[in-house]
Amino acid sequence: MPELPEVETVRRGLEPTLKGQTLVRVEARRPDLRFAFPPRFVERLEGASVTSLDRRAKYLIAYLSTDEALIMHLGMSGRFSIVDERGVLAFDDYAYDTGADPKHDHVVLHVGSGAKVIYNDPRRFGFMDIVPTASLEQSKHFVAMGPEPLGNQFSAGHLAQALSNKKTPIKSALLDQGNVAGLGNIYVCEALFRAHISPLRLSNTLGAKEIIALTDAIRAVLIEAIEAGGSTLRDFAAADGSLGGFQERFDVYGREGLPCPRSPAIGTPHEPIQRIVQSGRSSFFCPTCQT
């Protein structure tokens, strides 16, 4: 479930195991994921140590002692798990999935502590790349990418500028990583609901107040989801098997036909949550309070 909050949750989960550790052995069990691994993928990783683990939008970045950076993207179905030095599963970002799925374990990073970090991806929409750290920002993955929504560069002013000449629906504009980076289908739906804006509205028709509301809604929903991701990790550490996480808190996503959370107990009820398809993807919204 990798949009920005999920990737940040994964980053926090992997950091204690990877940071400062040497990659003593790397297994690439096939030549590619969505794309071929870069040349000499294993050789460039083995022997390097991870100086820090960062995130940019939905990408994980492991900075290496070799002045290169390992870029990892989870695609749609990518997940990481950690098996610690005792052989015990210590982290799995799909903790509520039942059963192992070793046939889709494509990459294994063995670190000096004896732990291993396993990348599993049934659909193989994920990918990994290695680029020189000095040119990371200029690499093809990041060169045209918009600002981090939780960073200082993202503001109502930025969003207003980005949307001002766009005729595309706001739903599509927010999915465009060049406008703001890290949102996906779920959090776009949720942010538009919070901002009372219909996904059908054309980008260049939003008013200043709406753009401010949208900016605030994007930040708020991402922050809450990251906090909920943290609680998922704690749940798993406690091995209580509970689902947890943010998905129980969606206002509109996946809730077609269900009541709008804002529908009043007294007075005229809102229409049920509606699902439409925009550029091939589902949008969920309340036709009554999102205009």
Partner DNA sequence: AATCTAACCTGACCGC
Partner DNA sequence: TGCGGTCAGGTTAGAT
Interface residues with DNA (CB under 7 A) are 1-3, 6, 34, 57-59, 73, 75-77, 103-104, 122-125, 140-141, 165-169, 172, 175, 177, 183-186, 247, 279-282
Work out how close the CB of 290 gets to DNA at its nearest, in angstroms, rounded to a whole number. Answer: 18
Report the residue number, 14 or 188, with the smaller CB distance to DNA. 188
Work out how close the CB of 125 gets to DNA at its nearest, in angstroms, rounded to a whole number. Answer: 4
H helices within 184-273, ranges in order?
A: 185-194, 208-237
Q: Which of 11, 58, 79, 194 is catalytic?
A: 58
Exposure string of 250-278, with b = 16+ CB inside 10 Å and e = fewer, is bbbbebeeeebeebeeeeeebebbbbeeb
The reply to whether 281 belongs to the active site is: yes
Q: Which of 224, 261, 281, 287 is catalytic?
A: 281
DSSP letters for 12-26: HHHHHHHTT-BEEEE
**Computed over its alpha carbons, how large is the radius of gyration of the chain?**
20
Work out how close the CB of 161 gets to DNA at its nearest, in angstroms, rounded to a whole number. Answer: 12
Beta partners for residue 62, in sequence order: 53, 70
Report the residue number, 83 or 170, with the smaller CB distance to DNA. 170
Report the residue number, 169 or 199, with the smaller CB distance to DNA. 169
In this structure, the strands spanning 68-73 and 116-120 are unpaired
What interhelical angle do 208-237 and 4-18 show, nearest 10? 40
The reply to whether 19 belongs to the active site is: no
Work out how close the CB of 45 gets to DNA at its nearest, in angstroms, rounded to a whole number. Answer: 21
Nearest to 77 by CA among 1, 3, 186, 184: 1
Report the residue number, 73 or 116, with the smaller CB distance to DNA. 73
* Residue tagged 């260049």 (tokens): 204
Cα separation, 220 vs 217, whole angstroms? 5
DSSP letters for 238-251: TT-----SSGGG-S
Report the residue number, 29 or 123, with the smaller CB distance to DNA. 123
* Residues 68/130, Cβ–Cβ less than 8 Å: yes
Catalytic amino acids?
2-3, 58, 281
